[in-house]
Structure 1
Amino acid sequence: MKAKAFDSNLFKRILKYTKPYKARFYGVIAFAILLSVFAALRPYLLKQTVDSYIQPKDQEGLLWYAVLMGIVLLFEVFSQFYFVYWANWLGQDIIKDIRTKLFNHMLTFRMKYFDNAPVGQLVTRSVSDIEQIARIFSQGLFMIISDLLKMIVVLGFMFYMNWRLTWIVILAMPILVYATRVFQQKMQLAFEEVRNQVANMNTFVQERVTGMKIVQLFNREDIEFEKFKEINQKHNKAWIKTILYNSIFFPIADIISSLSLGAVVIYGGFHILDGDKFTTFGDLFSYTMFIGMLFNPLRQIADKFNEMQMGMIAANRVFDILDSESDVQNNGTKIAGHFSGEIRFENVRFSYVKDQEVLKGINLNVKPGETVAIVGATGAGKSTIINLLNRFYEIDSGSIYIDNQNINDFQLESLRKQIAIVLQDVFLFADTIHNNITLNNPAISREEVIEAAKKIGVHKFIKTLPNGYDYDVKERGVMLSSGQRQLIAFLRAYVSNPSILILDEATSSIDTYSEELIQKATERITKGRTSIVIAHRLATIINADKIIVMDKGMIVEQGSHQELVAKTDGYYKNLYESQFAVEKSE
């Protein structure tokens, strides 16, 4: 897709983020004006010094003008400092606000959004793309304003001093303006490609680093290395294209500037030799500075415009996420208090992909305090039920009730606060065990965590670790075994004191010792509260009050273990007997 040379609507949207910092915004512009005036004043003072004091050999006047030029230089340095400092400060505050808004927005997204969006791409948008937006202000917008002001003021001084020499310079400017325009358009397209390749590389690297165990386990190192080289080569080519354009443009700009300076010196020199009073040695001295001050900003404007373009491309990507309407609708007004735990599904239909139903008219009743197990083959829809109960996804049709109240009527935060989940694949943050249990909730004290750990039999295990509750489990909890991570997850669920507890295959893939601890923990935390247990190992749910058997998105059987195994040729009976036979043979 061909990108616009300049998207004014996008630019206006970015500028809206400057509203909280209006004083600083206008302050930067004020210093840009002062900077342009003081910068252009120096060559003018140099002309006066040469013509009025050096040629007439006026030492006293020369000393006075030298002091005056020093004062002007100090004011220029002062203006430059505040201009650069405030412009960068403003840019950093703006991206702080955008990054906060973006992250807060992503926290509200449905799980479906994260199912489809590559993690590496989201990281790129949240970090490097947003950082690039700051350069709109630090290296783009204000620098362009400053350069344009400087050029206008310089042209004003040049016409005032010697309009003939000035027209020589102006005649060369359209060539540089045209070259700048072509350069800017080429670079805008090149930078778009660069950002695409950066996002692709981030996504690839993030996925391979996360899944390094699989890469090595299946001897995929060489294959993945070749894929990385291909992606890296595309990234390299995208950057080389920008280098090529820079290598062409800047020498052209230097040649035009040098030729203009040569033309002014030759033209002015001949007029001085002919005794023309309209051109002086001071003019030639000052014009050598003026031409650099006029052409360098014009050349740099192209570079600064590229910075703006990269920032706007990045902003467009970030705004695409901010404009995504994938957030879970949180229109509920009721605050969910502590539930008695009655759950009811009425003709619930749901599909992750349109027209491909995963749940096909589910009707389910769970009584308060009841432990209900859900079993079935992979893909039967077991985990989908708990995802819908937490409103991670929106149902296609039907209704879900807790304590006879539609879950859509509850404020989302209060609803999820009453439901705790222990997953098979436990996610732990790179933090201490204590912080992973409380998730930095200040309402949960260290004493409460320790007391809860003792009640469910986890305290002894934690105390055996270096630093105990302050043990750093590193990224994703790699310092702990899968069974230990499960125990931490059980404790995390327990201290949150939920009304409803969900165990999603929480006892699979763990060692015997950890399983015994988890069984004890399960008995403790399910006592007195509604619990839903999803399990492949049927031996772990024999004592459940009710067992729901699912197949292809439908409930095909339900009842107690004794009732279901008594059914002749029943789905659950066949499943249980085949699993029992396998375990016995092992």
Structure 2
Amino acid sequence: MAWLMKYLSPVKWRLLLLLVLLLASTGMQLFNPQVVQRFIDTAAEGGTLERLLFLAGLFLVVAFSNQLIVVAVSYLGNDVSWRATNRLRGDLLLHCLRLDMKFHNEKTPGEMIERIDGDVTSVSNFFAMFIVQVIGSFVLLTGILGFMFTVNVPIALVMTLFTLLSILFMVVIRNWGVNSSKQEREASASLFGLIEERIAGIEDVQGNGNVGYVMNRYFKLMRTVFLKGRRAWMMRVIPWNTTVVLFALAVTAVLLLGVRYYFAGEISLGTLFLIYQYTQMLNDPIEQLGDQVQEFQKAKSGMLRSRELLSLHSDIAGGEEDVLPEGALELEFDNVNFSYTEEKPVLQNITFRVKPGERLGIIGRTGSGKSSLSRVLLRLYNIDSGVIRVGGIDITSMKLPALYRRVGMVTQDVQLFDGSLRDNLTLFNGEITDAEILETTERLGLRHWIDAQPEGLDTHLSSGGSSLSAGEAQLFALTRVFLTEPSLVILDEPSSRLDAATESLLQGAVDQLMSRSTGVIIAHRLATLEQVDKIMVLGNGRMLEFGERTALAEDPGSHYARLLMTGREEELA
């Protein structure tokens, strides 16, 4: 409850208003049967027409007013629930964004959507009806039973016994279906993960004729969802079935007693109707409580899964250092070892130093550790041992935002967001002016493309990058880095998606950027490294070679020289 109150406390005044409306609605529900009772007794006693019309009008006014309040209660209940659970969704998303890459590599986007939105939706549905139905039901039950004790004590005792037995049973079994509901949510998350994974890889699925295999996996997961969902539903409906049996017994006993007292002349016809009406009204809150026990089981499974997610912690922890030296930054790896899993080392004993303003070119076969080197430099992963220093400072002692402000990276895969061209270039940084954007894109050769757009920088781009060619997307990523003016730049295959003409155009802009920063360029094309100062050759996670580019090029025995002599760039693939 303390965890739930964290999200309910910001809407406490709306909750208070909701409770006031609930009390008003409950009072009207209790009042109207008494109006009917007086109407019946007045008619039976030969009362005046004016009196009957007054009671009938009063009934209609109260019923209409109650319906208006019911609408307001329903709206306010949903408003409260969505305000509270949207904060939970936001906390879950923010928490996931702060978790390290190890976590994200283990989870598919489809599964994460289900964890962040699907689980919380069940909590939201519970919140929306819990306050309205559970609290309202208890208030109504209390009012009905309290008034019945003023009418007929034996009948009131029967109704009270039925109510207590129903509530006691629901309390005892309230957790029976939680585990089943949790397993149902997990199965649903796996299904969403499969759907997202296959849609993302639709080209491979269609191109290789794997549609049948995908559908087979889909049907197997759907069967799992069905079986677990059926079991969860069967566990959740037990409270409802139990209350139906108890209510049938209670109604039979109450009506028998009521008819007996009526024929004995102890109660009037109107009072008999009142007893019958209150007995029927008693069933509604009991059924609502049974329904909410089902919703509680689904909501609790969602809450447990949400708390499990929030309890996870990133292995990447920032330090206290917030300031780096001005200008281009020195880069140093000191005996760095890294692996994604214990069984397979990725980087082994990597030691090198790049002075401020120098450019380091890194080459090696696929899987040699080139991209992993850049990832540990940005602290996307923790290294197993050794030290990485930027500007002479151990990166583990730095605050992560301070590191990212001064270190920029262009990856092979460019992510575009749903928004304007301006927002995609600045990554939603409003402090960067249009003049800065246009000046930078002019240097990169992207200005002509912007000018050709119907709305210039206000042109809307869709997420995923379908509106850009591969080369344009790569230039986009470079522009983003240029606009942040970093002191250390990592270019991971910067020309992998560019043709020769575009690459030549890009080289001049890269030279301008590197003139005021330290550069690390990971490349397959040897031509990309003609302007670097130092070369590193990686192989199987080890540093096979490191030194001045000119010296290595002139040394016939070096790996780099042999590559230049043979011109066989395919050896790097």
Please tell me the residue identity of whatever aligns with 2:45: P
Q: How far 1:470 moved relative to its partner? A: 4.0
Q: How far 1:454 moved relative to its partner? A: 1.0
Residue number in structure 2 paired with 1:291: 279
Residue number in structure 1 paired with 2:45: 56
- Specify every segment of 5 or more residues in structure 2 that has no aligned partner in the other structure, as ranges: none
1:101 is paired with a residue of what secondary structure? helix
Instruction: Show the 5 A alignment for 1:432-451.
Output: 432-451=420-439
Task: Please tell me whether residue 135 in structure 1 is matched to residue 120 in structure 2.
Answer: no
Contact 2:410–2:491 at 8 Å: present in 1 too? yes
Residue number in structure 1 paired with 2:105: 115
Task: Please tell me whether residue 236 in structure 1 is matched to residue 226 in structure 2.
Answer: yes
Task: Please tell me whether residue 226 in structure 1 is matched to residue 216 in structure 2.
Answer: yes
Contact 2:556–2:562 at 8 Å: present in 1 too? no
Please tell me the residue identity of whatever aligns with 1:363: T
Please tell me the residue identity of whatever aligns with 2:198: R
- What is the distance in 2 between the residues matched to 1:216 and 1:131? 34
- What is the distance in 2 between the residues matched to 1:281 and 1:233? 56
1:548 is paired with a residue of what secondary structure? strand
Task: Please tell me whether residue 315 in structure 1 is matched to residue 276 in structure 2.
Answer: no
- What is the distance in 1 between the residues matched to 2:508 and 2:554? 28
- What is the distance in 1 between the residues matched to 2:193 and 2:347? 32
Please tell me the residue identity of whatever aligns with 1:402: V
Instruction: Show the 5 A alignment for 1:374-413.
Output: 374-413=362-401
2:341 is paired with a residue of what secondary structure? coil
- What is the distance in 1 between the residues matched to 2:513 and 2:435? 18
Please tell me the residue identity of whatever aligns with 1:313: S
Q: 1:282 to 1:252 in 2, by over 3 A?
A: same
Instruction: Show the 5 A alignment for 1:485-500.
Output: 485-500=473-488
* Equivalent of 1:268 in 254, 258, 263: 258
* Equivalent of 1:475 in 463, 466, 472: 463
- Residue range with higher mean Cα deviation, 402-411 or 235-244: 235-244
Instruction: Show the 5 A alignment for 1:137-536.
Output: 137-170=127-160, 187-241=177-231, 253-254=243-244, 257-258=247-248, 260-273=250-263, 276-326=264-314, 328-336=316-324, 338-354=326-342, 356-465=344-453, 467-536=455-524
Q: 1:309 to 1:179 in 2, by over 3 A?
A: same
CA deviation map 1:41-66 (0-9, x unaligned): 32233333333x22222224444444
Residue number in structure 2 paired with 1:3: none
- Residue range with higher mean Cα deviation, 514-523 or 364-373: 514-523
Q: 1:577 to 1:294 in 2, by over 3 A?
A: farther
Residue number in structure 2 paired with 1:105: 95
- What is the distance in 1 between the residues matched to 2:234 and 2:6? 35
- Residue range with higher mean Cα deviation, 399-408 or 488-497: 399-408
- What is the distance in 2 between the residues matched to 1:581 and 1:389? 26
- What is the distance in 1 between the residues matched to 2:294 and 2:569? 69
Task: Please tell me whether residue 561 in structure 1 is matched to residue 549 in structure 2.
Answer: yes
1:475 is paired with a residue of what secondary structure? coil
Please tell me the residue identity of whatever aligns with 1:522: V
Please tell me the residue identity of whatever aligns with 1:543: Q
Residue number in structure 2 paired with 1:5: none
- What is the distance in 2 between the residues matched to 1:202 and 1:549? 42
What is the number of equivalent residue pairs in this alignment?
Answer: 570
Contact 2:524–2:569 at 8 Å: present in 1 too? no
CA deviation map 1:400-453 (0-9, x unaligned): 222222223433212201111111122222333322111111111122111111
Q: How far 1:486 moved relative to its partner? A: 0.8
- Residue range with higher mean Cα deviation, 186-195 or 360-369: 186-195
1:498 is paired with a residue of what secondary structure? coil
- What is the distance in 2 between the residues matched to 1:359 and 1:245? 51
CA deviation map 1:313-369 (0-9, x unaligned): 212222222221116312324234644221112222223224643222322211111
1:352 is paired with a residue of what secondary structure? strand
Task: Please tell me whether residue 22 in structure 1 is matched to residue 12 in structure 2.
Answer: yes
Q: How far 1:492 moved relative to its partner? A: 1.5
Q: How far 1:531 moved relative to its partner? A: 0.6
Q: How far 1:81 moved relative to its partner? A: 4.2
Q: How far 1:533 moved relative to its partner? A: 0.3
Q: 1:574 to 1:252 in 2, by over 3 A?
A: same
Please tell me the residue identity of whatever aligns with 1:33: L
Contact 1:141–1:308 at 8 Å: present in 2 too? no
Please tell me the residue identity of whatever aligns with 2:470: S
Q: 1:154 to 1:515 in 2, by over 3 A?
A: same
The TM-score with structure 2 as length reference comes to 0.90
Q: Please report the RMSD computed on the Cα atoms of aligned residues, expressed in angstroms.
A: 2.9
Q: How far 1:290 moved relative to its partner? A: 0.9
Please tell me the residue identity of whatever aligns with 1:538: L
1:372 is paired with a residue of what secondary structure? strand
Contact 1:33–1:149 at 8 Å: present in 2 too? yes
Task: Please tell me whether residue 42 in structure 1 is matched to residue 41 in structure 2.
Answer: no
- What is the distance in 2 between the residues matched to 1:225 and 1:405? 52
2:345 is paired with a residue of what secondary structure? coil
The TM-score with structure 1 as length reference comes to 0.88
1:374 is paired with a residue of what secondary structure? strand
- Specify every segment of 5 or more residues in structure 1 that has no aligned partner in the other structure, as ranges: 1-10
Please tell me the residue identity of whatever aligns with 2:540: K
- What is the distance in 2 between the residues matched to 1:518 and 1:127? 42
1:85 is paired with a residue of what secondary structure? helix
- What is the distance in 1 between the residues matched to 2:222 and 2:528? 49
Q: 1:262 to 1:86 in 2, by over 3 A?
A: same
- What is the distance in 1 between the residues matched to 2:505 and 2:91? 42
CA deviation map 1:237-259 (0-9, x unaligned): 44444566688875775565455
Contact 1:50–1:281 at 8 Å: present in 2 too? yes
